[in-house]
Chain A
Amino acid sequence: MQKLANKNYLEGLLSGDQSVIDEIYKNNFQPVLSFVRKNNGSYQDAEEVFQDALFQLIVRLKVRKFEITSTFEGYLFTVCKNLWRKELNKQKNRVRNTDVIELVIEENKHSSFILEQERWELFEEKINQLSDNCIKLLKDYFNKVSYDVIVKKFNYSSENVAFQRVFKCKKRLAELIKRDSKYQDLS
């Protein structure tokens, strides 16, 4: 069923079927709008993110060997979240280097993000091959949860043990990524 629904959407999108695009908009835009608004964005920002995500999806289908493995809705929302994440980072950097005005050509904006999104998907795929404990540990560690909290939460005997675990999990993740030929293509 899921594959069939995805197929209908994808085929409609590829052929530029107006009713399909309208339906995609109707069923998927609202959550994106809520997310962007919650994260300091406007309706216009949400609209840009949503339309870029749809357009880039078509480009990926046409040019890259690509298949949606989750639901269509799940895929679209994730891409929109990442597009907005990138935009917020860009805004942060712009504040830091006010004199550097970056001129980004439209094509370049899409091509860069498509490849970054591909890298993101590859990393996610590899993270999900780690143990649950590793996943939780890495996410806590990289999202600035302090060592003492991690030590207590994961029942480690010391901060040094916690660091060793983080280190091992990250090394394992790096190996999984390096071994994948997709990563070589993206580098």
Chain B
Amino acid sequence: MDEDIYKKIEAYLGGDMTSEEQKQFELMMSKDIELQKEVKLANEINHHLHEESWLSLEKSESKQAKNDIEDYIKSNEANEIKSKINLAGKRYKKSQYGLRRRLLIVSIAGVFVITLVSTVFFNQNSSTTNLYSKYYTENDLPSIVKRGSQNELLNKGIIAFKARKYEKAITFFEDYLKENNDPLLYSYIGISYLELDKTKEALSSFDKLLYSSSLDKSKALWYKSLLYLKMNDTVELKKTLSNIISDSTNFNYNKAKELLLVGD
């Protein structure tokens, strides 16, 4: 075939012929089987090279091959395989759905845990650490040294307490109390236990002060409030604070009132 024919084939396939040229070319094709084949192949190549197009098979093409394929497709064996593929598709979809569900649950749980942790942390921050450190001050503790005690055990206890060596402080104070009667010292012992997170012992120390005959026994209510604040026990905290504000002469009456408002 010469170049001129190829150009005509391209023009014909590309729709670049006038209707007259097209008619002439089709007439030429009808008389020339070789030309028909060339046009068919050129068309197939054009479709192949064009990325978005797909040339479907003509009905007359590859009849024998088509029949062979279709015979097999109709067989039981082919049908069984087909349904197995279909079932695999369903299993896959289900597993993906399950996976997505699991991921969703895990992420919801994650959000929940984060919320929970931050809530607890926040609460601890606001009602325990922050409020506790805001309201707890050593100045509230009765000044024992000022009272002119020359006792060595007591002095050592105070020094250890101020150095935050609470275990040592407790030992010194308790040894001192074996020979002396000073209920106010229970405030120091109680706070020491509280700092060591031994709330039970702290509470019992404060109660000893509370049920003593000391004029400063109302201070025990305040220390107990601090303890409940640190423990985040809002119920007991409110009870204790209410107890304080029931008598305006009680130690830290105003602070107790303030704290009750914060608590609400």
Inside 8 A of B80's CB, which chain A residues have their CB? Answer: 16
B28 an interface residue at 8 Å Cβ cutoff? no
CA distance A173 to B3 in the complex (A): 15
CA distance A141 to B68 in the complex (A): 37
A155 an interface residue at 8 Å Cβ cutoff? no
- B45's partner among A22, A29, A54, A174 (CB-CB below 8 A) is A174
Consensus secondary structure, chain A interface: helix
Please tell me if the beta carbons of A26 and B92 are within 8 angstroms of each other in the complex: yes
CA distance A24 to B53 in the complex (A): 28
> In the complex where A16-B80, A111-B73, A116-B57 touch, is A123 in contact with B89 (Cβ < 8 A)?
no
CB proximity of B81 to chain A, nearest CB, Å: 5
B213 an interface residue at 8 Å Cβ cutoff? no
B54 an interface residue at 8 Å Cβ cutoff? yes
Please tell me if the beta carbons of B45 and A55 are within 8 angstroms of each other in the complex: no
CA distance A55 to B80 in the complex (A): 11
Stretch in B58-66, B134-142, B152-160, B215-223 touching the partner: B58-66
Please tell me if the beta carbons of A108 and B91 are within 8 angstroms of each other in the complex: no
Consensus secondary structure, chain B interface: helix
CA distance A105 to B184 in the complex (A): 100
CB proximity of A120 to chain B, nearest CB, Å: 7
CA distance A54 to B81 in the complex (A): 10
Please tell me if the beta carbons of B73 and A106 are within 8 angstroms of each other in the complex: yes
B52 an interface residue at 8 Å Cβ cutoff? yes
Please tell me if the beta carbons of A51 and B41 are within 8 angstroms of each other in the complex: no
A139 an interface residue at 8 Å Cβ cutoff? yes
Please tell me if the beta carbons of A177 and B78 are within 8 angstroms of each other in the complex: no
CA distance A127 to B81 in the complex (A): 34
- B70's partner among A88, A108, A120 (CB-CB below 8 A) is A108
B103 an interface residue at 8 Å Cβ cutoff? no
> In the complex where A51-B86, A89-B54, A107-B70 touch, is A186 in contact with B61 (Cβ < 8 A)?
yes
Please tell me if the beta carbons of B49 and A139 are within 8 angstroms of each other in the complex: yes
Nearest A residue to B65, CB-CB? A115
Please tell me if the beta carbons of B85 and A54 are within 8 angstroms of each other in the complex: yes
Please tell me if the beta carbons of B66 and A111 are within 8 angstroms of each other in the complex: yes
Inside 8 A of B61's CB, which chain A residues have their CB? Answer: 115, 186-187
